[in-house]
Amino acid sequence: MAAVAEKAHADLAIKKIISLGVFDKSRKIIKRDGHVEIPVVSPASGFDTVLQNEPAYYRMLPDLTHALQDVLADDCLSLLPRGWFLLGEVIVVKIHPKLKPYETHIGQALLDYYPRCCTVLADDGISGPFREPVRRAIAGSRTRTVHKENGVIFNLDAVQVMFSPGNLKERMRMSLLGKSEYVVDMFAGIGYFTIPMAVHSRPRKVLAIELNPNAYHYLCQNIRENHVEDIVMPIQGDCAKETPVGLADRVIMGMVQVTDQYLDTGISALKPGGILHYHQTVPLWQYPEAAIRDVREAATGLGRRAEILSCRKVKKYSPGVVHAVIDARIDRDF
Ligand SMILES: C[S@@+](CC[C@H](N)C(=O)[O-])C[C@H]1O[C@@H](n2cnc3c(N)ncnc32)[C@H](O)[C@@H]1O
């Protein structure tokens, strides 16, 4: 069963249905022509209801409670992780501090569910200027892996470099942009945006700048294994120094928190009419104005004009804070 709403009013309708307590989380919202079908467990008052011909279900993650009910005390069972993600053959999971004594049991239970995986890493967040993950192996030991996504191969070491599953939509979006362009990826990492763009859109050139030697190592390997050596030129160094001036059709600034400090460099890299992708963390109550203001003020300071093309939420960053990306066309000097 699904409630029907006009596509243009979908966000509002979803909020209303959640507040009515009838939203069915196990199924996906489906777009059809000019309307959306929002899955519900019972009719939602104020909405037309239809029986869906082809409902789409989310793949449910296994429930660890069954595997660990004989090992954990009852009050600990409710603290078991309900979500995790796979990077190639490595499982990454956040574990409640109270469950530390049971980590190896949790790790083994996850490996039993995913026989093709070899290692489970407990995730304690991201730290430092290189945004390196803080992770420990709780089952298995091999942390180098190959993650495949959208026709792209990412070699990485899941303990050394970050890879955010929440950025998938943005990686897909970048894979559709840049055809025949000169692109600068100022914070290239292992090639999160550079490689999908090079594989699918074939820019004329992507200058991929990365400071961290570990990430740079995998960037170079990913360039080779995705056969985009003729397109991507990797540079190990600080983008504040290595970014060229006035050459780029498109600049990707895929870093958060400190990105504003590099805005002058990113904007100066663009030819008149070039496109900037500015990532930043923004408190929800200031979204998107705070990030737009960063771009506008930096452009004005350089005697240029920023036309804001779009603002997107990439993912939730922390409670009340979103990771946002602003697309802006940077026009010629006044
Ligand atoms: C947050 S990661 C990239 C995340 C990526 N956009 C994604 O979608 O998951 C940012 C990368 O920028 C690199 N970095 C940080 N400061 C830099 C700088 N000044 N110049 C070049 N790279 C830098 C870090 O080492 C890291 O690999």
Burial 189-222 (b: 16+ CB within 10 A, else e): bbbbbbbbbbbbbebebbbbbbbbebbbbbbbbb
Question: Of all residues in the chain, what percent carry a pLDDT higher than 90?
Answer: 74
Q: What is the DSSP letter of 40?
A: B
Q: Name the CATH code of domain 164-330 (choices 3.30.930.10, 3.40.190.10, 3.30.300.30, 3.40.50.150).
A: 3.40.50.150
Q: Which two tokens stand for residue 312?
A: 């997107």
* CB 326 near ligand 1, within 6 Å: no
* CB 222 near ligand 1, within 6 Å: no
**pLDDT-derived band of residue 41, with 50, 70 and 90 as boundaries?**
confident
Name the packing angle between helices 213-225 and 194-201 (round to 10°).
Answer: 20
Range(s) within the chain of domains with CATH label 3.30.300.110: 64-142
Please state the rounded mean pLDDT for residues 302-309.
Answer: 97
Quick one: pLDDT at residue 185? 98
Question: Of all residues in the chain, what percent carry a pLDDT higher than 70?
Answer: 99
Which segment of 88-102, 125-139, 192-206, 227-241 scores lowest on mean pLDDT?
125-139
**pLDDT-derived band of residue 26, with 50, 70 and 90 as boundaries?**
confident
Please state the rounded mean pLDDT for residues 218-237.
Answer: 98
Please state the rounded mean pLDDT for residues 231-240.
Answer: 98
Among protein residues, the one whose CA lies closest to atom 25 of ligand 1 = 130
Long-range residue pairs from 232-235, CB within 8 A, at least 24 positions apart, any chain = 232/191, 232/194, 232/195, 232/198, 232/205, 232/206, 232/208, 233/205, 233/206, 233/207, 233/208, 234/188, 234/208, 234/210, 235/207, 235/208, 235/209, 235/210
pLDDT in tens, 200-219: 999 999 999 999 999 999 99
In the three-class reduction of DSSP (H, G, I as helix; E, B as strand; rest coil), residue 167 is classed as helix
> Which amino acid, residue 329?
R
The CATH number assigned to the domain with range 64-142 reads 3.30.300.110
Phi, psi of 36 (to 5 degrees): -120, 150
* CB 209 near ligand 1, within 6 Å: yes
Q: How far does residue 185's CA lie from ligand 1's centre (Å)?
A: 9
Determine the atom of ligand 1 nearest the C-alpha atom of 212.
25
Please state the rounded mean pLDDT for residues 48-61.
Answer: 79
In 33-131, DSSP assigns E strands to 35-39, 48-50, 85-87, 90-93, 119-127
In the three-class reduction of DSSP (H, G, I as helix; E, B as strand; rest coil), residue 114 is classed as coil
Among protein residues, the one whose CA lies closest to atom 15 of ligand 1 = 130
Q: Is the pLDDT of residue 313 over 80?
A: yes
pLDDT in tens, 317-328: 999 999 999 999
* CB 131 near ligand 1, within 6 Å: yes
Long-range residue pairs from 18-24, CB within 8 A, at least 24 positions apart, any chain = 20/44, 20/45
**pLDDT-derived band of residue 333, with 50, 70 and 90 as boundaries?**
low
Probe target for ligand 1 pocket from 85, 92, 127, 131, with the most ligand atoms within 8 Å of CB: 131
What gap in Å lies between CA 172 and CA 279, rounded to an integer? Answer: 16
In the three-class reduction of DSSP (H, G, I as helix; E, B as strand; rest coil), residue 258 is classed as coil
Range(s) within the chain of domains with CATH label 3.40.50.150: 164-330
Name which of 247, 268, 266 is nearest 255 in CA terms: 266
* CB 282 near ligand 1, within 6 Å: no
Determine the atom of ligand 1 nearest the C-alpha atom of 215.
27
* CB 212 near ligand 1, within 6 Å: yes
pLDDT in tens, 148-206: 999 999 999 999 999 998 899 999 999 999 999 999 999 999 999 999 999 999 999 99
Q: Are 133 and 164 in contact (CB under 8 A)?
A: no
What gap in Å lies between CA 285 and CA 294, rounded to an integer? Answer: 16
Q: Let me know the angle formed at the C-alpha of 28 by 25 and 31, rounded to the nearest 5 degrees.
A: 140
* CB 250 near ligand 1, within 6 Å: no
Determine the atom of ligand 1 nearest the C-alpha atom of 164.
9
Q: How far does residue 256's CA lie from ligand 1's centre (Å)?
A: 9
* CB 281 near ligand 1, within 6 Å: no
Q: Is the pLDDT of residue 223 over 80?
A: yes
